[in-house]
Structure 1
Amino acid sequence: MALPPLATTADLAAAGATATGPAAELALRRASARVRKYTRQTLTLVEGDTVILPGGGRVLALPQRPVIVDAQHPLTVTELSGMTGIELACVEGRDYTRLGAELTRGEPWYQPTRLVGWPYNRPSGVWAPQVRVTYSHGYSEVPDDIVDIVLALAVMNLSNPENLREQTIDDYRRVWASETIGGATLSDSQKADLRPYRRAAFTVAPS
């Protein structure tokens, strides 16, 4: 799925960039990719995303944030049994509690018609080895501090599209910052600003 840039060409023009069309769009895509790679977050709104997460513990952390749960964006959580093919739908407030992006498993509740076998003799209060979650996450409006960083990177990309270190024409000599060579990179201060949005490395099995 192609994700939209984290800023618009109108934002880029307002930031002082003169490039338009494909050049501006490419600069925004490259800058957005840098930010997403560092934060490990999509950041823009994604609805109805389905992932299979490793369980086995009491707390299940959803990888993408912020999590959106309302009437239009339901949260569906299903424990998977593995080879038996049995699935157990979990209900918030009955099987688990939710605090932000963390789902804490309560004492297991079993449907009266469940088949003999899994989850028989499962440890209490522990998620199954695999859990399928369908949820919505991200921002309908990207936060301003993220937009500012994307625009700064995009402007740097546009300032040195040929990845030159320096250019000399007669008596004129121009030297580009090393950060612009090979594509603009995040500075230490920008990384610090993005750190609240960043999540720890997390492995998610494909759905």
Structure 2
Amino acid sequence: MAVLPSLATVADLATLLGRTFTPEQEAQAQALLDQASAVVRSYIRQDISRDTTTDTFTLRRVDPLLHRCAGAVTLPQRPVVDIDSVLVDGTATYDWWQEDNELLLRSWTWDLPPAAHRAPQITVTYTHGWDPVPGDIQAIVMQAANRVLVNPSGIRSEAVGGESVTYLIPTTGEYLGVLLSRTEKKVLDRYRRTAGSVRLRGR
């Protein structure tokens, strides 16, 4: 499986903060952006970045009159930019079309022996994701990384030389670190995958 890039760059973060990082700070910022990107991807269950994937799915039955096709596959990564190839049980087919993230096949040999009781396996190579990354996703990744840069110890307040110092931690007292707040999750919910096809194996 290919290693996906961070959803924001160190340069993006430096511009947001209006500062210049030392080499050591750049390395720390990159590590935190990598972690924040992984957290966001895990939450919404999407690669997000533009990428090409080959996956195999079990074709599902649909109502041929309602859907005008014999079967369908829901491609889990969104948005679907292009479908490069489709194989039915290892044989290439061009008898399909795309509707959003649905791959619809006009016909197949499900009811013919020897595969009368086995759903066809559909291998799809497709390009998906955003280029560039949506601004709200990028902003959340930088916010999550910056929380640790600002306050790596997770301290809300402390007395320093007789003065009280307050850190940028939510009023609930919850230390988020490279995690997501409830507000950030609400923003990300519009991108979140809630259901999909049965995937057998990935790239």
Aligned with 1:75: secondary structure?
strand
Q: 1:169 aligns with which of 143, 160, 177?
A: 160
The unaligned stretches of length 5 or more in structure 1 are: 81-86, 111-115
1:74-85 matches, within 5 Å, as: 74-80=83-89
Q: Does 1:15 align with 2:13?
A: no
Aligned with 1:136: secondary structure?
strand
Do the aligned residues in 1 keep the contact of 2:81 with 2:127 (CA within 8 Å)?
A: yes
Identity %: 31
Q: Does 1:63 align with 2:76?
A: yes
Q: Does 1:205 align with 2:200?
A: yes
Root-mean-square deviation (Å): 2.7
Q: Distance in 2 between matches of 1:163 and 1:34?
A: 18
Q: 2:93 aligns with which of 85, 90, 93?
A: 90
Q: Distance in 2 between matches of 1:42 and 1:68?
A: 13
Q: 1:188 aligns with which of 177, 182, 187?
A: 182
Query: 1:118, CA displacement in angstroms?
Result: 4.2
Match of 2:32 in 1: 27
Q: 2:43 aligns with which of 34, 38, 42?
A: 38
Query: 1:27, CA displacement in angstroms?
Result: 1.7
Normalised TM-score (structure 2): 0.77
Match of 2:66 in 1: none
Q: Distance in 1 between matches of 2:174 and 2:30?
A: 17
Change (3 A) 1:35 1:189: same
1:97 aligned partner, one-letter code: W
Do the aligned residues in 2 keep the contact of 1:79 with 1:90 (CA within 8 Å)?
A: yes
Q: Distance in 2 between matches of 1:11 and 1:180?
A: 26
Aligned length: 183
Farther-moved stretch of structure 1 (22-31 vs 187-196)? 187-196
Match of 2:107 in 1: 107
Query: 1:46, CA displacement in angstroms?
Result: 1.0
Normalised TM-score (structure 1): 0.75
Match of 1:83 in 2: none
Match of 1:51 in 2: 55
Do the aligned residues in 2 keep the contact of 1:160 with 1:181 (CA within 8 Å)?
A: no
Q: Does 1:141 align with 2:146?
A: no
Q: Distance in 1 between matches of 2:93 and 2:114?
A: 15
Q: Distance in 1 between matches of 2:16 and 2:38?
A: 19
Do the aligned residues in 1 keep the contact of 2:32 with 2:178 (CA within 8 Å)?
A: no
The unaligned stretches of length 5 or more in structure 2 are: 62-70
Query: 1:21, CA displacement in angstroms?
Result: 1.3
Query: 1:175, CA displacement in angstroms?
Result: 4.3
2:190 aligned partner, one-letter code: P
